[in-house]
Structure 1
């Protein structure tokens, strides 16, 4: 017997940091999008508790199991399909897919919202992220309207048919940014401005434009990221480009896959916007 759940990766374009004493109300507002790749977690029968992860460690898994206070024996297998710590929301996808898979496997009868709240708690407790979990319950492009965990925060989804490409130059320690007073203030001030603009006129064009402006104004871009963003901006067949928040990663959108096949960028990954979201297998 086994249960598998896939949760898509999520890239944020711009955001605000929303602190709160209550963990489930702590989070972020902003806009991002879902990828076709993410994290697939499978829970299966085993005579002892075992964890098999294809990259990274078991920190997120351990935190979820600690919150759930589960002492049952089973095997957890995780296929993390995107780079860790590079702005793809992999820790959130890991926590959410695990919680949803365990809910099915152990017949816990938790609601999807409660599973999302457990995953959100794990994320916040580890300082790994603030808004990816609730965003990963949406489809396509996702606007986080109110901060917090699923069932507390609020999102709006916008589906688009377009191609996405990304290249990462490595990771950024998320906690070093979201817990630093200066970065928090700058991010929230700039993010609030573009969040208000986007809520007035939500569109793919505005998302790309505001994300690009946000990444420049917050001065979070490394030189590698800035150079690639400038290169994509110089090409007429690219709809827009910016930096993944928070990761040393560049993303770009285009209407046709050929737009990316013709660029001179090594190790460029081509994907599509994910308009489906979470998948139970």
Structure 2
């Protein structure tokens, strides 16, 4: 049994804290990319796991929530994006694992409940607030109500566009979303652009508001700011900003050649993922 969950990049967001972990989350706007996390569950005589990068923190957390530590199977996770760079890899790991285990073990859980388990793992570990529910959508995703799947709400918008991204390394998400100063700056700016985007959910507004948010919150490193500025100076680039929360730059264009002609080392060219989760 294999389940693929795409990576998710947030452009802007606000933090919505709540006593209930399932209502704890964020509202904002982001998009799905073609790479992500694939989890495969295999028959085995004893419990085992194999992860191509990172550690087993998410796996252990999901197994603990599901109380499945004594079961015999092998978990294989292929993470196709940089960890800690703003791609929602921990959420994709949690969600793909929960969905795959649900089918492999015939647990009979509804899709939303699987999403809630993954969301709870994310909140428990301080890894993220809104990636799980966004990853249940496709294309450009507006999180209209905070919380886990089945509690929070999203709207998805399809666009035929190319994406380029380059990462300069990791940012520890928990160090940002749990810091009072960062939380206030993020929420004040994020709620403003979230309200504006809901009135006119265009691709242009997403890119414009993402860039304004990144500047207002002062989360961009010098190297990220320099590349974002460069992208935004080019006529054939629709817009560019920083992945929240990661030391990563993203840019959009209608034509793939707009990125292929650039001499930028480590630049990855992708397309907006209008499909979402895939069960194999």
TM-score tier after normalising by the smaller chain length: over 0.9
Tell me, in whole angstroms, the C-alpha distance in 1 between the residues paired with 2:189 and 2:233.
25
Could you tell me which residue of structure 2 aligns to residue 93 of structure 1? 92
Tell me, in whole angstroms, the C-alpha distance in 2 between the residues paired with 1:259 and 1:34.
20
Deviations 1:199-225 (A, max 9, x none): 001000000000000000000000010
Could you tell me which residue of structure 1 aligns to residue 179 of structure 2? 180
Could you tell me which residue of structure 2 aligns to residue 29 of structure 1? 27
Could you tell me which residue of structure 1 aligns to residue 191 of structure 2? 192
Tell me, in whole angstroms, the C-alpha distance in 2 between the residues paired with 1:219 and 1:186.
9
Deviation at 1:245, TM superposition (A): 0.1
Q: Which runs of 4+ in 1 moved over 4 A?
A: none
Aligned residue runs from structure 1 range 113-192, under 5 A: 113-192=112-191
Normalising by structure 1, what TM-score? Answer: 0.99
Give the 3-state SS of the residue equivalent to 2:218 in structure 1. Answer: coil
Deviation at 1:130, TM superposition (A): 0.2
Give the 3-state SS of the residue equivalent to 1:24 in structure 2. Answer: coil
Give the 3-state SS of the residue equivalent to 1:35 in structure 2. Answer: strand
Deviation at 1:264, TM superposition (A): 2.1
Give the 3-state SS of the residue equivalent to 2:12 in structure 1. Answer: strand
Deviations 1:57-108 (A, max 9, x none): 0100100000000121100000000000000000000000000000000000
Alignment RMSD (CA, Å): 0.4
Deviations 1:221-261 (A, max 9, x none): 00010000011011100000000000000000000100000
Deviations 1:163-182 (A, max 9, x none): 00000000000000000001
Deviation at 1:263, TM superposition (A): 1.1
Tell me, in whole angstroms, the C-alpha distance in 1 between the residues paired with 2:29 and 2:184.
18
5+ residue gaps, structure 1: none
Give the 3-state SS of the residue equivalent to 1:72 in structure 2. Answer: coil
Could you tell me which residue of structure 2 aligns to residue 17 of structure 1? 15
Could you tell me which residue of structure 2 aligns to residue 67 of structure 1? 65
Tell me, in whole angstroms, the C-alpha distance in 2 between the residues paired with 1:76 and 1:256.
39
Normalising by structure 2, what TM-score? Answer: 0.99
Aligned residues: 279
- Is 1:219 aligned with 2:218? yes
